[in-house]
Amino acid sequence: MKLTAISSSLFLSSISVVAAHNGHHDDLQMPLDYVKYPYQAVYHPGDNEVTADSIFSGITTFARLPWVKCLGREKDAAFDIAFIGAPFDTGTSYRPGARFGPAGIRAGSRRLTLYGGYNVPLAVNPFLSGLKIVDCGDIPVTPYDNNYAIKQIEEGHKELLQRTAFSPLGNDTSTGKPLVPISADGKHHPRIVTLGGDHTIVLPILRSIYSAYGAISVIHFDSHLDTWKPQVFGGAPSEQAAINHGTSYSSLQHGAIRTTLSGPADYTNDDASGFQRIEAREIDTIGTDGIIKKIRETVGDKPVYLSIDIDSIDPAFAPATGTPETGGWSTRELRTIIRGLDGLHIVSADIVEVAPAYDTNAELTTMAAADVLFEVLSVMAKTPLGKIAQED
């Protein structure tokens, strides 16, 4: 299947342009420009409008961001940060259901912009930072063929990543010198935040990231190692079975590890994969500050890809996940640690293994996932993906 079947020759700088110039029937029915920031009613009864746009009404996108059909009709749309779903869960070894993760996380994110979206500890409002942030919907992913699905995710991610970012990089705030991209190909790429999906999706995403940035650092928050050899999962009876959500990584910093192992040899394999490990229980001795320090020492100022398994949070706070492990971090602790990444060049990120069917009626897990992503978005908004050009 081709991901970009419908073409458009317009350069679409805003949603309202689409509404104005595109005469397609379904677009006319879609209130494409009804999401406003900060939160504001667009419809006042008695004001010749229809109704206030409340956070509990309307179409649910991430943080009520504008929905842009980046992989369809609006395939030329430019943005700075895009949320995209990867509803894939046929790589799970225990509880399936993460294919509903993107829809669940969007529902959990409804209140993010209720009061405007200002992040107090990070002193930034990512939604008013001047960046164009959109929800691109989901990558079409087949539930019948893992190899094909992985190809779809890689192509869909690349399709977004390989566009040029909407906003120019600008100048360094302290020196005033112009910034140049930190990518390997010299292009100013937008950032993609992927809503999983089980952890398998990180394999095709990292392939996409590699196409723009070359080798980068990976920060991986997870209760599990995910560097297991396929035989840990009962062997790989076929090439397809060798690809699953526990075997998707190839480099650098684990956080929140607390799984049982098949034996100490699992750590040997993890070491050989080049990972530094932070055990979940270290929070009792070195605290969030100590954990942040360890991560920053490992990563330095290199470009970073951030992958967050919701199971890094304790099941008391985030029960709805594929492979829950007790003894994890609280939602507050993980959010503090993510804010501790302030200043790092996070080139893209994901949150995976949210399986809403196992959630409480209070939507604990999907809310936690959305709020963790709010911290990621805030860190991204504060640090452009640029460096000061070398003078020669």
Look up residue 148 and give its two tokens: 């094909």
- Give the type of residue at 49: E
Q: Assess 178 for contact with ligand NAG (CB under 6 A).
A: yes
Q: Assess 130 for contact with ligand NAG (CB under 6 A).
A: no
For residue 270, the partner it binds in ligand NAG, Mn ion, none, with Cβ less than 5 to 8 A by kind, is none
For residue 170, the partner it binds in Mn ion, ligand NAG, none, with Cβ less than 5 to 8 A by kind, is ligand NAG
Q: Which of 171, 269, 273, 330 binds ligand NAG (CB under 6 A)?
A: 171
Q: Assess 170 for contact with ligand NAG (CB under 6 A).
A: yes
CB of 268 vs Mn ion, minimal distance in Å: 20
Q: For the residues of 61-79, what is the DSSP string, one character each?
A: -GGGPPB--TTTTTTT---
Q: Is the Cβ of residue 162 or residue 171 nearer to ligand NAG in the bound state?
A: 171
311 assigned binding-site residue: yes
Closest alpha carbon to 84 in 9, 36, 152: 152
Q: Is the Cβ of residue 91 or residue 386 nearer to ligand NAG in the bound state?
A: 386
Helix (H, G, I), strand (E, B) or coil at 115: coil
CA dist., res. 307 & res. 317, Å (int):
19
Those residues with Cβ within 8 angstroms of residue 64's Cβ, 6 or more apart along the chain or in another chain:
35, 39, 55, 58, 109, 110, 112, 113
CA dist., res. 244 & res. 233, Å (int):
9
359 assigned binding-site residue: no
Beta bridge partners of 321: 354
CB of 170 vs ligand NAG, minimal distance in Å: 4
Look up residue 354 and give its two tokens: 């949210």
Q: Is the Cβ of residue 154 or residue 222 nearer to Mn ion in the bound state?
A: 222
CA dist., res. 192 & res. 136, Å (int):
10
Q: Assess 4 for contact with ligand NAG (CB under 6 A).
A: no
Q: Is the Cβ of residue 284 or residue 391 nearer to ligand NAG in the bound state?
A: 391
Q: Which stretch binds ligand NAG (CB under 6 A): 114-122, 141-149, 170-178, 253-261?
A: 170-178
Please report, as ranges, the residues that interact with ligand NAG according to CB under 6 A: 170-171, 178
Binding residues for Mn(2+): 199, 222, 224, 226, 309, 311
